[in-house]
C-alpha cells in the first residue's frame, strides 16, 4: 500500500521545485562571479576554497527563508508575506555575517601580490594580510594586519554590520523574486480554476438543455403512437415502435454535453422522420441536402430535433394535404454554415399554414436558442419566421468547427 503523505506538507511545500530552482539559480550566478574574480588573481584556489563555505552557508540560509515563508505565510496577505520575508532575510544576513566572521580565523588568506605606488611615492606591495612599504633611503616597512577576531569589539561590530547590510540585499532580492513568482502562480491558478468552473457550468447547462429534449420528443412520439393504436393501425404502430427503439438506442448513447458531426445529426433526424412518415405516409415528404464538405462539422447533439418536431407538429398534423419538410445545410464561407429546416405545402398554395407557436411543453426554439448560445456564444444565431410560400422556416447559423 502506498504511504499517505502528510497533508500539511503537501500544502505548504507544494512549490518546492520553484524554490529549489530559484535558490540554486541565484547562488550559481554568485558562484560564477566568484570564479571570474578568483582567476583574475594569482591564488584562485584559496579564494575558491574560502568562497565555497560562503556559497554553502548561503544556500542553506536561503532554504531556511523559504521554509519560513512556506510555513508562516500560507493563506496570508501580501503585506504579511513581505514582513515575514524581510524579517527572515535580516535573520539570515545576520547569521551569514556571524558565521563568516567566525570562520575567518580558520581560513587561509589568498597569496595575491598587488603592487602600486602611493601619492607620496612609496612603493607598496600587498601580500595576503600584510603590506610591505619601501621608501628610498629607508629600510622596508612591513605591516601585518590582525585577524578580525583580534580587533576591538566595536570595530568587529562595525565590520559585522557592513557584512549584514551586504548580505541583506542578496537575501531580500531572492525573497522578492520568490514572492513575485508565488503571486504569479496564485493568479494563474485562480484563472485556471475560474476557467474550469466556467467550463463545468457550461457543461452542466448543456446537459440540462439536452435532457429537456428527450422527454419532449418522447411525449410527442407517444402521442403519435397512441393515435395509431386507437385508430387500429397496428402495423404502423409496430413499425413506429421499432423506429423509436432504434432512435433512442442511437441518441441516448451520446454524451449529452458532447458535440457530434452534422452527418450524425442528420442520421438521427432521418430516424425520427421515419417514425413520422410511418404515422403520415400520405402527407409527409422529406428532402435532405447536406454538402459533403460540411458533414464533419461539429454541433450540439439533437440541436435540430425540436425544430423538426415543430415542422411536423405545426405543419403536417395541421393539414390533410401533402407537405414537404426540408433540411438543408449551406457553406457560408469564412468557416461558417447555415442549417435551414423548412416546411411547406406541395400544392403551391400560399398562406395555407398557421405560424408556429410555442404551445405544448414550451421548449422548441427556446431550447435551440439557449443551446446555441451556451455552445457558441454570440457566434451563432437562430432566426425563424413564415415563408412566402405559406410555410415556416428556421435557420441556424454557426461556426464550422471540426475537420470541415
pLDDT tens digits, one per residue of 152-203? 888 878 888 888 999 999 899 999 999 888 888 878 887 887 776 566 555 5
User: Do 185 and 241 share a structural domain?
Assistant: no
Classify residue 118: in a domain, yes or no.
no
- What pLDDT score does 8 carry? 38
- For the stretch 281-297, pLDDT in tens is 888 999 999 999 999 99
User: Do 260 and 154 share a structural domain?
Assistant: no
Range of the domain at 336: 233-399
User: What are residue 321's phi and psi, to 5 degrees?
Assistant: -95, 165
CA gap 7, 20 in Å, rounded: 21
Is residue 248 within 8 A of residue 266, CB to CB? The reply is no
User: Do 334 and 189 share a structural domain?
Assistant: no
User: Do 265 and 172 share a structural domain?
Assistant: no
- What pLDDT score does 155 carry? 81
Buried/exposed code over 200-210 (b: 16+ C-beta within 10 A; e: otherwise) = eeeeebbeebb
More confidently predicted of 26 and 12? 26
Classify residue 143: in a domain, yes or no.
no
Q: Which of 134, 166, 193 is the last residue of a domain?
A: 193
Split into its structural domains, the chain has a count of: 2
Classify residue 93: in a domain, yes or no.
yes
Classify residue 308: in a domain, yes or no.
yes
Question: Mean pLDDT over residues 218-227, rounded?
Answer: 75
User: Do 353 and 265 share a structural domain?
Assistant: yes
User: Do 170 and 36 share a structural domain?
Assistant: yes
User: Do 186 and 48 share a structural domain?
Assistant: yes
The CATH number of whichever domain residue 249 belongs to comes to 3.30.565.10
β-bridge mates for residue 381, sequence order: 397
User: Do 184 and 246 share a structural domain?
Assistant: no
User: Do 153 and 243 share a structural domain?
Assistant: no
pLDDT at 215 over 90: no
Q: Which of 193, 219, 248 is the last residue of a domain?
A: 193
All three cell numbers of 242, joined, read 421499432
- What pLDDT score does 352 carry? 52
Classify residue 369: in a domain, yes or no.
yes
In the three-class reduction of DSSP (H, G, I as helix; E, B as strand; rest coil), residue 146 is classed as coil
In the three-class reduction of DSSP (H, G, I as helix; E, B as strand; rest coil), residue 45 is classed as helix
Amino acid at each position: 500500500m502506498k504511504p499517505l503523505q502528510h497533508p500539511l506538507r503537501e500544502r505548504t511545500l507544494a512549490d518546492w521545485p520553484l524554490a529549489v530552482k530559484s535558490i540554486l539559480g541565484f547562488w550559481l550566478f554568485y558562484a560564477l562571479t566568484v570564479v571570474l574574480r578568483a582567476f583574475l588573481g594569482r591564488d584562485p584556489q584559496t579564494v575558491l576554497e574560502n568562497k565555497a563555505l560562503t556559497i554553502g552557508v548561503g544556500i542553506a540560509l536561503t532554504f531556511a527563508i523559504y521554509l519560513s515563508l512556506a510555513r508562516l505565510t500560507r493563506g496570508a496577505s501580501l503585506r504579511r508575506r513581505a514582513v515575514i520575508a524581510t524579517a527572515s532575510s535580516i535573520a539570515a544576513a545576520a547569521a551569514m555575517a556571524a558565521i563568516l566572521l567566525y570562520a575567518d580565523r580558520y581560513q587561509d588568506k589568498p597569496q595575491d601580490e598587488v603592487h602600486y605606488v602611493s601619492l607620496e611615492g612609496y612603493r607598496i606591495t600587498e601580500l595576503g594580510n600584510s603590506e610591505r612599504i619601501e621608501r628610498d633611503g629607508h629600510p622596508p616597512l612591513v605591516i601585518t594586519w590582525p585577524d578580525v577576531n583580534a580587533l576591538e569589539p566595536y570595530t568587529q561590530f562595525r565590520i559585522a554590520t557592513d557584512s549584514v547590510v551586504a548580505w541583506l540585499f542578496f537575501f531580500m532580492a531572492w525573497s522578492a523574486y520568490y514572492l513575485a513568482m508565488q503571486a504569479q502562480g496564485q493568479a494563474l491558478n485562480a484563472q485556471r480554476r475560474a476557467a474550469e468552473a466556467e467550463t463545468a457550468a457550461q457543461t452542466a447547462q448543456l446537459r440540462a438543455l439536452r435532457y429537456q429534449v428527450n422527454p419532449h420528443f418522447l411525449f410527442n412520439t407517444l402521442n403519435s403512437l397512441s393515435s395509431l393504436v386507437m385508430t387500429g393501425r397496428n402495423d404502423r404502430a409496430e413499425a413506429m415502435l421499432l423506429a423509436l427503439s432504434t432512435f433512442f438506442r442511437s441518441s441516448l448513447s451520446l454524451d449529452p454535453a458532447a458535440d457530434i458531426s452534422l452527418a450524425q445529426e442528420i442520421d438521427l433526424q432521418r430516424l425520427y422522420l421515419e417514425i413520422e412518415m410511418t404515422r403520415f405516409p400520405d402527407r409527409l415528404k422529406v428532402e435532405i441536402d447536406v454538402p459533403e464538405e460540411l458533414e464533419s462539422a461539429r454541433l450540439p447533439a439533437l440541436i435540430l430535433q425540436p425544430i423538426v418536431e415543430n415542422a411536423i407538429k405545426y405543419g403536417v398534423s395541421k393539414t390533410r394535404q401533402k407537405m414537404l419538410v426540408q433540411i438543408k445545410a449551406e457553406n457560408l464561407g469564412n468557416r461558417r454554415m447555415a442549417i435551414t429546416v423548412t416546411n411547406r405545402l406541395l400544392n403551391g398554395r400560399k398562406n395555407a399554414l398557421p405560424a408556429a407557436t410555442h404551445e405544448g411543453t414550451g421548449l422548441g426554439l427556446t431550447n435551440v436558442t439557449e443551446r446555441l448560445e451556451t455552445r457558441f456564444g454570440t457566434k451563432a444565431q437562430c432566426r425563424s419566421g413564415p415563408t412566402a410560400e405559406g410555410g415556416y422556416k428556421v435557420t441556424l447559423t454557426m461556426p464550422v468547427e471540426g475537420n470541415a
